[in-house]
Each structure stands twice: as C-alpha cells, then as structure tokens.
A and B are shown apart, each in its own frame.
Chain A
Amino acid sequence: MKKFVWFLTLILVFTLVSSACGALPGGQSSGKFRVAVVMPSAINDLAFSQSMYDALVRVQGDMGGTDKFELVYSENMFVVDDAAAAIRDYATQGFDLVIAHGSQYGSSLQEIAPDFPETSFAWGTTVDTFGLPNVFAYEAASQEGGYVNGVLAATLSTSNVIGVVGPIETGDAKLYVDGFKAGVTATNPDIQVNVNYIGSFSDVALASEAATTHISAGADVLTGTAQMVVGAIGKAEENDVLWFGTQSNQTSLAPSIVVASQVYHWEGILKEMIALIQGGTLGGKSFKAGLANGGEVIEFNPDYALPDEAKTLAETTIAGIKDGSITITLP
C-alpha cells in the first residue's frame, strides 16, 4: 500500500511539472510572432511541402529573422491522426498561427479550431474556412501555371504527343493537369495529351514506369505533379525528353531537360494573414495564390536554351492570365 501511495504521488508530481512546463511558453508570446506548420511530406520533397517551408523561411527573413519570427514544423505527417495531435499540441503551446498544410487535415481542424479561439489557424489547399472566425483558407490556382506550361509544351513538342504523370485525380493535382491540357489544346489542338494517374503520392517506381510508358507511346514532352515524380524526371532525362515541373523548382534534378517549373510562392498570402492576425482578425478569409498576385511564378531553367519566340509566347501568356484576357476553362 505504501509503495502504491509513493507511486501515485510520483505520478502526480510528474504530471504537475510537465503541465507547468507545457504552459510556460503560452504566457510569453508578446514581441515574437510564432508560427507552427504541419505538413504531409518532407520539407525537402521538391514539391508541395517544400513550397510552404521555403515560403515561411523567406517570410522569416523579411520579418527580421529568428528573434522576431519563430518557425517550427512537423513533417511527414501522412497519418492524419498524428497530424491532428500535432496541430492540437501547437495550439496548446500558444502559437500565433498554426498552419495545417494539407487538404486531408480539414476535418481535424474543424474540430480543433473552436477549442482555441485565441489561436489563428490556416488550412490549405482549400477555400473552406468552415465559417469559423479563427480559420484562414488558402489554395493555389495551379491551373494557371499549368496552362503556361501547357502552352510551352505544345510549342516544343515535335511528335505531337505529350504525357502527364499525376498522383490521384483530385484537388491541386487535377487543377494543374486540367490547366496544362487546356494550355496545350489552345496552342495546338492536334496534339494528343495522354494522362496517367498512378494512384499514389509516394510510389516512385510506378511513376518512373508511367513515364517510360508515355515515352514508348511517343511522348517527347512530359510533366507531372506531386513528390513521386522524381522517378519520372529520371526517366525523362535518360531518354532526353523535356520536362515541365510544378510546386517547386525541379531544375536541379535534371538540368538538361527541365524547361520551366511553376513554383508556389505562399509568402504574399502568409504576410497578408500575419498582418490581419496582428490587427486582431484571426480568420474567416480565404486566399488564392495565382500568377497575378505573385503567389505563383514560372521559373525558367537558365541552362535550357529556350527559343526566343517560345519565351515571348510564355511571357504574353502569363501577362494574359494576369490581366484576365486569357480565361482558362476547366472541364
């Protein structure tokens, strides 16, 4: 019995100490802006997660470095339950802004956000804030960069066959692929665009084989979206077939064949959110990154000798999308 009482006391003391430690950071949030982000893949995936991490690091630099802007992250949170626990932990620790960077985290956030009315949450990619006053939503108009890539791809293809390697036919990936197809068709309706969704965001081997299949079917230009495309880029390089990237700049993987990449620059949206939070508005607004507001940028590979007329065409297309003279009709 005595042993049991000792044991119980020990547990109580331990709980008290640990909860006290947990509560400390919450009280001293003044002065420094504190951001936490939860991401489904790695911060260096050359795709979705990296685009957000890189943007946050740039915002940190612009806002005065680590003294003014604290940034913590949880990566590889592909299990939604784990992600939900991390989001709740960060909210408990009193972060000013907790970003749930993945559309799969939506229902978790909908449950968690009302418990922390003082904390601002951001969720993407989506337009839905659940009508909650402390949730921001953000998404990328990835069809815009997809369209520009498609226009360029159609100009550069000589076999008139273009291949696309996609993950799962939904969300951001579907927007990009549909925009790409629209761009190709608008430039040259005779070109055949073969699309292949491999059903996975991580199966590098199948993505690679999908690229090989496209090449066997006659494609001389390829594109693809999500982090498993590194396998497809390798096959494109091996067969000297052109590649168009999206989400992050993929030039480093195959400098000889990457023509251009659509890169997400979330920092504009992030800065707007932070300004709103500092002004007392914690959510209720949805943001869209596009070419017009600098949320998406087409980054050309300087080592690829893009013909001048193609470059000019790309630039007029970008300008057209920005000023609204080009509208992209999605199926």
Chain B
Amino acid sequence: MISELFSVTVLIGILASGIRLATPYLYAAIGETFGQRSGVLNLGVEGQMLLGAFAAFYVALTTGNLWLGVFTAMIVGAAMGLAMAYVTVNLHAEQGISGIGFFLFGLGMSDLLFQKLLGTVETVKGFPKIHIAGLSDIPGIGEIFFRQNLLVYGAYLLVPIAWFVLNKTTLGLKIRSVGENPDAADSLGVSVARIRYFTLILGGTLSGIAGASLSIALLNVFQQNMTSGLGFIAVALVYFGAWRPIGVLGGALFFSMINSLQLWIQVLGIPVPSDIAVMMPYVLTILVLVATVSRVRAPSALTKPFEREN
C-alpha cells in the first residue's frame, strides 16, 4: 500500500490538490505580508475572507457575473482594511485585539447576511478550469499546473509581483522603512499613516479575493464559517515565510502539499489513524518553523502604533 503512494496518479493528484489548496492562502498571506512589512499585524484576515466570500457568492448568484463578484469582494475587503487602518493608525488601538474584533465582525456579518439574503446553502456556477492549448495537454505537468481556474493562476502570478513591488520599487522601500523605523521614515518625509492605510487596504482587497477564490472558483458554495481558520493559517504563513513573498509561497505550498498527501494516505488505506493523518500538516509546519526560526527577525515596528514625537 505504501508503494502506491509513489505511483504517477497519486503524485499528480497530490501536486494538483496542493496547488489548489494553496490558492486562498496565497492571496490572504501576500496581503498580510504587505501589512506586516509596514508594521501592522492584521488578525482580521479571516473575517475579511468570509465577507469577501459571501459578497462574491451573492453577487455571482444574483447577477451571474463572476467578475462583478470578484470586484465586490475586493471592495468589501478594501472597506474592512480601511476600517482596520482607521482603528490602528488614527486611534492607535492594540492591533491584536482590534484584529480579533474585525474577525468576529466578519464572521457574524457574513452569517447574518447569509441568513437574511439566502437562507439556505446554494450552489453557483464558478470560474471554469482554463484549458491552455498545448500546455494543458503535457502529460503530468499539464494536469498539475495548467488545468486550474483563473483565480488559481492569479494567486501564483501575485507572488513575483509582490516580490517586485516590495524589493524593487520606491513604494516598497517606503513600506519597509515604515515597518522597520517609522521615526526615521517620518523624518525623511514619508507619511507613515498613508503607507499603512495603503498596505491595509491592499491586504483587505487581497483577502476579499481569497474569499472569492473559495466561494466562486474552487468550491462554488457559501456556508457559514466556511473558511474555518484558513485566515489565521495565512497569518501564520507570513511568519513562516519570514515576511517575504517567496517564503510565503514556499510555506503555503508545503502546508497544502502535506495536507493533500494526508488525504491520499487515508484514501489508499495506509494504516495511519485519521486523527494522526489530519495533524500532519500542522505538526510538520511547526517543526519546519522551529528548525528555521532564527534566520530572520520580524519588522522592528510590527504591532507598534506610530506616534510622532514633538
């Protein structure tokens, strides 16, 4: 039975599943990376994802327009990010606590809207799998990489873009300096408040897309609390990925691949108790984190509200 794990079908299955499972983590965690690099920890990602997932689903269901659904999810996520920015930047609120508040708001609000506007679990026709002539037909590789839907491709495209913006542009430099030393950045004329508003709104927008990727691309249903902790794992992946987009990609893929591996272990009837199997992604991720944690330190100003000294 163990040898079956190494058959071509299973390997392709594990890789293709892993790529799909990593998609929502990528959007949410890349968004969170921007926020944290500018010094703000946003624990409300899960709430932003839930409201984004509902908004996308409801709009796609009622209008039949998937892109309008994604757009609405982005607006809803951005609005949540804007509110978070006001609370943490202007009101100097404790970031961890206010993040939990925004999570609970998103959880409750998405549930309430679902009850009032839909009332029961329904399905919608989501983004179809894209067939790329040539590429999709390559045996193995085609099935793993090139038979996914548009939002999956978008998530992977986001990684190099985020890397470029953070490391190769003036905007990225400003974001990083605000996260490392806001006083110095401020004295050089960089508006700390404006940068943090920008990263939090961007983060919210991406979390909204993360929700949409679940409700109208990968699953095509909406259910209460359907993210079930995904947003918090995304926050953890930012730490795992050492605040770098490439690291986040590695973490998201590692966690998702182990998760799809454990699904296969159970399906193939390999005698591992299910409780142990479902623990695998978490335990292995923690082990890797422990082994590599001393490499990099967090942005110096992370979780610290900025107040200009007179």
Inter-chain contact B121/A253, CB cutoff 8 Å? yes
Shortest A72–chain B CB gap in Å is 16
Q: Is B185 an interface residue (CB 8 A)?
A: no
A194–B214 Cα gap in the complex (Å)? 26
Shortest B211–chain A CB gap in Å is 11
Q: What residues on B are CB-neighbors of A262 within 8 Å?
A: none
Shortest A192–chain B CB gap in Å is 8
A241–B13 Cα gap in the complex (Å)? 17
Inter-chain contact A217/B278, CB cutoff 8 Å? no
A41–B225 Cα gap in the complex (Å)? 10
Stretch at the interface among B61-69, B163-171, B258-266: B258-266
B248-270 near A? 1/0 per residue, CB < 8 Å: 00000000000110011011110
Inter-chain contact A254/B123, CB cutoff 8 Å? yes
Cβ contact of B226, chosen from A44, A204, A217, A237, cutoff 8 A: A204
Stretch at the interface among A8-16, A57-65, A227-235, A269-277: A227-235
Shortest B223–chain A CB gap in Å is 6
Q: Is B3 an interface residue (CB 8 A)?
A: no
- Given A163-B267, A203-B228, A46-B120 contact (CB < 8 Å): yes
Q: What residues on A are CB-neighbors of B274 within 8 Å?
A: 166, 168-169, 196-197, 199
B3-21 near A? 1/0 per residue, CB < 8 Å: 0000001101100010011
Number of CB contacts from chain A to chain B under 8 A: 119
Q: Is A195 an interface residue (CB 8 A)?
A: yes
Inter-chain contact A213/B275, CB cutoff 8 Å? no
Closest to B23 in A: A205
Closest to B225 in A: A202
Q: Is B134 an interface residue (CB 8 A)?
A: no
Q: Is A292 an interface residue (CB 8 A)?
A: no
A76–B111 Cα gap in the complex (Å)? 10
Closest to A207 in B: B219
Q: What residues on B are CB-neighbors of A205 within 8 Å?
A: 21, 24, 214, 218-219, 226, 228, 230
A197–B264 Cα gap in the complex (Å)? 11
Q: What residues on B are CB-neighbors of A204 within 8 Å?
A: 214, 219, 221, 223, 226, 228
Q: Is A206 an interface residue (CB 8 A)?
A: yes
Inter-chain contact A234/B120, CB cutoff 8 Å? no
A213–B260 Cα gap in the complex (Å)? 8
Query: Which residues between 14 and 40 of chain B lie within 8 Å of chain A, taking CB atoms?
Result: 17, 20-21, 24
A44–B275 Cα gap in the complex (Å)? 28
Inter-chain contact A234/B268, CB cutoff 8 Å? no
Q: What residues on B are CB-neighbors of A41 within 8 Å?
A: 224
Closest to A78 in B: B225
Inter-chain contact A42/B20, CB cutoff 8 Å? no
Cβ contact of A214, chosen from B121, B219, B267, cutoff 8 A: B267
Query: Which residues between 251 and 293 of chain A lie within 8 Å of chain B, taking CB atoms?
Result: 252-254
Q: Give chain B's interface secondary structure class.
A: helix
Inter-chain contact A217/B267, CB cutoff 8 Å? yes
Q: Is A198 an interface residue (CB 8 A)?
A: yes
Inter-chain contact B263/A202, CB cutoff 8 Å? no
Cβ contact of A195, chosen from B9, B20, B225, B266, cutoff 8 A: B266
Q: Is B119 an interface residue (CB 8 A)?
A: yes
Q: Is A19 an interface residue (CB 8 A)?
A: no
Q: What residues on A are CB-neighbors of B279 within 8 Å?
A: 199
A44–B114 Cα gap in the complex (Å)? 10
Inter-chain contact A196/B266, CB cutoff 8 Å? yes
Q: Is B90 an interface residue (CB 8 A)?
A: no
Cβ contact of A200, chosen from B111, B220, B228, cutoff 8 A: B228
Q: What residues on A are CB-neighbors of B263 within 8 Å?
A: 196, 198, 206, 209-210, 213
Q: Is A119 an interface residue (CB 8 A)?
A: no
A44–B13 Cα gap in the complex (Å)? 33
Closest to B276 in A: A199
Q: Is A45 an interface residue (CB 8 A)?
A: yes
Q: Is A225 an interface residue (CB 8 A)?
A: no
Q: Is A212 an interface residue (CB 8 A)?
A: yes
Q: What residues on B are CB-neighbors of A253 within 8 Å?
A: 121-123, 221
- Given A46-B121, A202-B228, A214-B267, A209-B20 contact (CB < 8 Å): yes
Cβ contact of B268, chosen from A76, A194, A198, A206, cutoff 8 A: A194
A185–B205 Cα gap in the complex (Å)? 50
Q: What residues on A are CB-neighbors of B214 within 8 Å?
A: 204-205
A27–B223 Cα gap in the complex (Å)? 40
B112-133 near A? 1/0 per residue, CB < 8 Å: 0001000111110000000000
Inter-chain contact A45/B121, CB cutoff 8 Å? yes
Q: Is A216 an interface residue (CB 8 A)?
A: yes
Shortest B220–chain A CB gap in Å is 5
Q: Is A208 an interface residue (CB 8 A)?
A: yes
Inter-chain contact B21/A76, CB cutoff 8 Å? no
Q: What residues on B are CB-neighbors of A46 within 8 Å?
A: 120-121
Shortest B264–chain A CB gap in Å is 6
Q: What residues on A are CB-neighbors of B20 within 8 Å?
A: 209, 212
A252–B221 Cα gap in the complex (Å)? 13
A253–B219 Cα gap in the complex (Å)? 12
Which are the 7 A-B pairs with shortest beta-carbon distances? Answer: A199-B278, A197-B274, A202-B228, A216-B13, A194-B267, A196-B266, A203-B228
The contact sample of 30 A-B pairs, CB cut-off 8 A, is A44-B115, A44-B121, A76-B111, A76-B224, A194-B266, A194-B268, A196-B267, A197-B266, A198-B278, A199-B274, A199-B275, A199-B277, A202-B225, A202-B226, A204-B219, A204-B221, A205-B24, A205-B219, A205-B226, A206-B21, A212-B17, A213-B267, A216-B9, A227-B223, A228-B228, A230-B219, A230-B221, A234-B123, A252-B120, A253-B123
A: which residues have CB within 8 A of B?
A: 41-42, 44-46, 76, 163, 166, 168-169, 194-200, 202-206, 208-210, 212-214, 216-217, 227-228, 230-231, 234, 237, 252-254
